[in-house]
Each structure stands twice: as C-alpha cells, then as structure tokens.
Amino acid sequence: MAADFKTAQPREYYRRFLKEDVRPDGRSLEEIRPTILNVGSISTADGSALVKLGHTSVICGIKAAIAKPAAEKPKQGFIVPNVDLPPLCSSRFKPGPPSDQAQAVSQLVADIIKNAGIIDLEDLCIAEDKLCWVLYCDLMCLDYDGNIVDACMIVLMAALKNGEFFWFVCVCVRVCVCYTNICEQQNMCIRDRILIADPTVEEEDLATGVVTIALNENNNLCCLHKPGGSPLTENQLQDCINRAKVRTVEVRKLITTTADSVER
C-alpha cells in the first residue's frame, strides 16, 4: 500500500515523513549515509580508490603522464578529472557521449580542485616550458543513488592520497532544499523550508534546490555551488557550512585511517 502511494504521489509521500523530521530510509534530516572506502583498488593505476556512500558507488583511478606545459603557464602541470556516468550505474543514463550531468559534475570537481589548491601545480613541473606531469583522474560511477559530487570528491581525495600526490583533504557536502508545506494557489505560498543532507536520487529529484559546499583543510570555503532553485537565507547558508565542517572531520579521518591501514 505504501509503495503504491509513493508511486502515485511521491511528493506527498516524502512530505509526510519530512514533517516528522525523518526520511523514508529512517535517517534524520542531517544524517549522512554509511560511507565505506577502499584504497589501492586498481593495481595498474598510480593511485586509486573506491567509495560507497549509501548505494552510490564510485571508483577512481589516476594515471600520471608527461606533457608540455601550457604556453601561458610554463611552470605548471595539469590535473584533469573526468566523471563517467555510464548506463550500468543507472537506467537514467544512456550509451553515447557524456551526458550533460556527467560534464557538469566533471566541471564542478575541476573547479573545486582548482579553488582548493589541493595540488600545487608548479610541483608537477619537470622542466619549465618543456616537460610537466599530467594527472588524469578518471572517476566512474558504478551505482547511482544521488549525491554523486560528494562521492566523487571523497574517492578522488583518497586516490590522490594513495598516489601520494597531495598534502591535505578538501571535502564537499551536498544539501537539498525541500518544502514540507505547499499551498497550491494562483500565487503559490511556500513555507516550512527545510534542509536535508546527503540526498538520495529520489530526494534530489523532488528537491526544489540543491547546494554543494566545499571546504579546504583549514575549513575555508573554496566552493559554494547553487545552480538556481529555491533561494536560501544567510542563516540557512551558514547552517549548510556548519554541517560541512562537521562532515570534513569525518571524511578526513576516514581517508587517513584507510590509507594508513593499507600502508601497514
């Protein structure tokens, strides 16, 4: 009966749970799904990792290659992330060229890496204006159930650490904006705005907005990505940042502990 109601009226189904400050999977609004991490997953890569965030799974392999520096930046190397969302991870993705979502996630990951200064690109220079290192970071989603950006950043940080390419961890947290009470009138009145962390794909589809926040090792904001959707107040944005600060501690500990266990 509940399954039929969920299919027929998904928004109302979720609204009834959210009014009680809980989600259908039993999590509280701020609760993150269990995160499992494995490093050194690909023996042929120069750095690799596999993360499982709830039912979302992403694997990352890094290959280092030699190239010529860009003319405008002769003392710098490159780091090139590429996110693949193949049909095997979800029926929403089709065979063929990278989907718009895959391209958007790849660009967002690249922006976070650049803004956070995860790697000093000058350290990747071998000979000025002649030779440099390029780190190709290939991220493939194996199972898609929302919050792909967070999963990609966790697995990328772990793979970079596995390859000993960087010195600190940058973590991002995705939060969905939802409404639990909507008055359907000519001038729609919306109230009871709430925030939920680590959304599943169903929650993302029903959300009225999504915000992604990335913090560097010093808890400085290096990315705040909100592509349209419902506006947030200054207090709500600060709430999101505070949640991200808590999450960064958990992720850094997870990456460090996992990496240390492999080294031993």
* Sequence-separated (6 or more) residues with CB below 8 Å from residue 81: 106, 109, 110, 113, 137, 139, 152, 156
What gap in Å lies between CA 227 and CA 209, rounded to an integer?
8
User: Does the pLDDT value for residue 192 go beyond 60?
Assistant: no
What gap in Å lies between CA 147 and CA 158, rounded to an integer?
17
108: CATH: 3.30.230.70
List, edge to edge, every strand of the sheet that includes 189-197. Answer: 189-197, 171-183, 209-215, 221-225
User: Does the pLDDT value for residue 185 go beyond 50?
Assistant: no
Q: Report pLDDT for 101.
A: 95
Flag whether 21 is in a domain. Answer: no
SS3 content of the chain, % helix, strand, coil (to 5): 35, 30, 35
Flag whether 218 is in a domain. Answer: yes
Flag whether 9 is in a domain. Answer: no
Confidence of residue 68 (pLDDT cuts 50, 70, 90): very high
User: What is the DSSP code string of 22-43?
Assistant: --TTS--TTPPPPEEEEE---T
Flag whether 14 is in a domain. Answer: no
Question: Residue 47: which domain range?
Answer: 27-263
* pTM of the shown model: 0.89
Number of domain units in the chain: 1
| pLDDT-wise least confident of 62-76, 102-116, 162-176, 216-230 | 162-176
Q: What are phi and psi of 86, to 5 degrees?
A: -80, 165
Flag whether 193 is in a domain. Answer: yes
Flag whether 18 is in a domain. Answer: no
Flag whether 15 is in a domain. Answer: no
